[in-house]
Amino acid sequence: MAFAMVAAKRMSALIFGFRAQSFFLFLLTFILAFRENSTQLYFITTMLFAIKVVLVPNFLRRVARRIKVNEDLGLSANPTVSIFAAVLLSYMAYLFTGKILSFPGEFENSAFFVSLSVTMIGIFLMMARMKALAQIIGLLVMENGMFLAAASVSGGMPFIVEIAIFFDILLVVIILGVFVFKINKLFTHIDVDKLTELKG
């Protein structure tokens, strides 16, 4: 799914990609919760669904519509190059997990590899997309990767920490949304590569 997001040229497609990715994450943790049959995991799964699949994408869509930036994303790398870069990053993540970390279990190895690639692709999205909204989504993709790592590698962090992290993500998105509005009002655009008043 992350690959589709790299290729996405339009904002709505990007937001849809994020929603779908979160949905897969939701399915995965749901399976995990079912297998371990723990109420805490069920609770976390519900929060995941509510926040990442419903609330955050809806909020982003509203922001995007309000400031009318549904056009193109200001790609600094075109889809083909982006896909190529994403593949390269995943391969690096694969090498990294295999050679340096070498987890004992096969499942953990692959799960960590996937989450690390998702994180790296998130960073790539933030670097290669010049719209402020796209950077938010890049950050969220990174968070998704983290969550996958936490859920699959260690069976979830302690309960209260998970809750706090969710709350945090919600806060980040809302605050960034507010700033997108402010940028849009003051600069009449949200192209981050044109934010260059401060140098040195």
Partner 1 sequence: MEIFPILLIPLALAGIAVLPGVRAGRSRKFGVLNAAGHFANAALAVLLALGLMRSGGPASFFGFFYADLLSAFFILTISVINFISALYSIGYISADVKDGVMSERKAKAYYSLFNLFALSMLCVPVVSNLGMVWVAIEVTTLVSAFLVGFYNKKESIEAAWKYIIICSVGITLALLGTILFYYTASRDGGISSLNWTDMETVAGSLNPSILKVAFLFILVGYGTKAGFVPMHTWLPDAHSQALAPISAMLSGVLLPTAIYAIIRFATITNVCIGTGYTGNLFMLFGLVSLGVGAGFVLVQRDIKRLLAYSSVENIGIIATGLGFGGTVAIYGALFHVFNHAAAKSLMFFAAGRAVKKYKSHNIREIRGIISAMPFAGAMLIIGVFALTGSPPFSAFFSEIMILLAGFKMGLWPQAALLLLFMAVAFGAIVFNISRPVFGGKPEGMPVEGEPLSGKLAFGILLLLICVMGIAAPGLFRDLLLAASEIIRGA
Binding site for partner 1 (CB under 8 A): 100-102, 104, 116, 119, 123, 126, 132, 135, 139, 142-143, 146, 149-150, 153-155, 157-158, 160-161, 164-165, 167-168, 171-172, 175-176, 179, 182-183, 186-187, 192, 195, 197-198, 200
Contact 75, 9 (CB under 8 A): yes
Q: Maximum distance among all alpha carbons in the chain?
A: 54
> Min. distance of Cβ 148 from partner 1 in angstroms?
10
Structure tokens at 113: 């590899």
Which phi and psi (to 5°) does residue 191 adopt?
-85, 115
Nearest to partner 1 of 80, 185 (CB atom) = 185
Taking alpha carbons only, the member of 157, 166, 173 closest to residue 49 is 166
Nearest to partner 1 of 57, 122 (CB atom) = 122
> Min. distance of Cβ 195 from partner 1 in angstroms?
4
Exposure string for 116-140, b = 16+ CB within 10 A, e = fewer: bbbbbbbebbbebbbbbbbbbbbbb
> Min. distance of Cβ 197 from partner 1 in angstroms?
5
Nearest to partner 1 of 31, 171 (CB atom) = 171
Nearest to partner 1 of 4, 183 (CB atom) = 183
